[in-house]
Structure 1
Amino acid sequence: MSRPKPSGRSYGRLTRHERNAVERMLDRNRSAREIAAELGRSPSTVTREVAAHRYVTAPRSRYGEPAPADLSGACPRLSAWPRCCNGCSHRRGYGCSRRPRVFYSARRAQEAADAELSASRSGIDETEEGAAAKLAAIRDGLARGLSPQQIAATTPGLSASTVYRWVDAGYDGMTNMELRRKVGYRPRSRRAPKRATSHSSRRSHASFLALGEDACAAAWEMDTVEGSRGDSARLLTLLHRPSRFQLALPLPDGTCASVLAALSSLRGVLGEDGARRAFGAVL
């Protein structure tokens, strides 16, 4: 059922829900007016949306690219409504030799619209004269060896974070090399990479796979969960993969002896034979 267009509605960006409706109705070969009536938008908004956010699926070398504005010589569906291959009887190009193949996707349209909005908000939110004056003040201050904090303190309407951001963005040809503190940092000392922990062949991945597909699928996953910083207590968790059943055993600390004691208490409850049958493989 079509929704009536709200009276006096100001123009706004299409939402993801509306773009999903556009794609769904394109697949059903609906006209621009039918889609516009469903969304409560004007037909020109719908046609602009589809034309602006189409993407190429064939040829493969241009997959994912926006559709070019000039599609003369291509399929007539691309030069007039619906301007895409959605709803075509040769859906997804099966049995169709025409190139390019162009589709409208709500997901891709939303990503493109978000990228356009983000790009429109980048840059300097200043008049040309105001931006030029502040850039001149920043460059002069850096040339005199002043810090961003000192430049901001002597320039009205300018903050230290703005100085860092504009320099980092490379406005007016500036670079981070002009910030004395950034180029004056000493190289940080880095620890040597840890050596891989050695273990016996019985604990290798190949040994685990050799147990067979059934045993691997029924394996338990063991881990320890730490509490707040400074608290030595732990939880030993055992998760059964097929059933998602989980055991949690309290540990006084994270030592190997505590883990062995918890597993021994579990073996004492189930018995040696029961423990072997229940815990065939533990990761």
Structure 2
Amino acid sequence: AVYGNFDGVQTIAEESSTYPGVTHPVYAGGLGFGMKWMMGWMNDTLKYFKVDTLARKHHHHKLSFSMTYAFTENFMLPFSHDEVVHGKSPMLYKMPGDEWQKFANLRALYGYMFTHPGAKLLFMGNEFGDTNEWNFTQSLDWHLLQYAPHKGMQETVKALNFLYRKEPALYHFNFSYEGFEWLDADNSDESIFVFMRKGPKAKDTLVIALNFTPVVRENYKIGVPFKTKWKELFNTDAIEFYGGGINNKGDIVPHLQGYNNQEFSITVDLPPLAVVIFKSK
């Protein structure tokens, strides 16, 4: 009735059970919601990121597990007000390490969030790394934007939003398995994940590499599906984001040797605590 009578509306279920069909059509026995909060993803992701970076290899499955059920509903990935109140601490202080590592971890977390299938929900203040829990009686700490780490965090989220709107691979198959393929989900020793996001056309394909340790991985080999040259499209370690500036400049020429069940491969540098996105030219 809601969708039939009101154009442009969306219904989203803030629901944490495993009750099936919350976002399935009513005529198919579902509840008819447009989207459902992916609470399991949120809990597993925060548990993983709270762990010391050198111990994450023992918790690798917490990030790969979500893909076993990611397309059973139309999921939204939520970092809501519930996660920054009642002593849970702001998002920034959930991250381990010194100040630089906390910001790098949070930038990487948002990079992972925006490249993972599903819609996104990021509560106000999270986008610039507020240092206080949310308090409805006072303003957000906007003055923090005068400091480079917080400004860099805001620029990261701004760039991710722009990329999310621009790249079909990040939104076209948000709720369908056609838009996702693991390249490497099992490199627990180095805490690295690599996957593809796909759009309706082959040229939309993105390769996303996640490095969740504070170690630079040089000459890291990744399988790719195309022989064409590749380029680095986005990097959470960019200088403008308050990162260290470790990147892959210029064209990345594929090797004819296959890897990760792909016909070709590329060799790249992965910055510490960072998410890097590659696209064929």
Query: Normalising to structure 1: TM-score of the pair?
Result: 0.19
Structure with the greater alpha carbon radius of gyration: 1
TM, length-normalised to structure 2:
0.19
> Which has the bigger relative contact order, CA under 8 A and spacing at least 6?
2
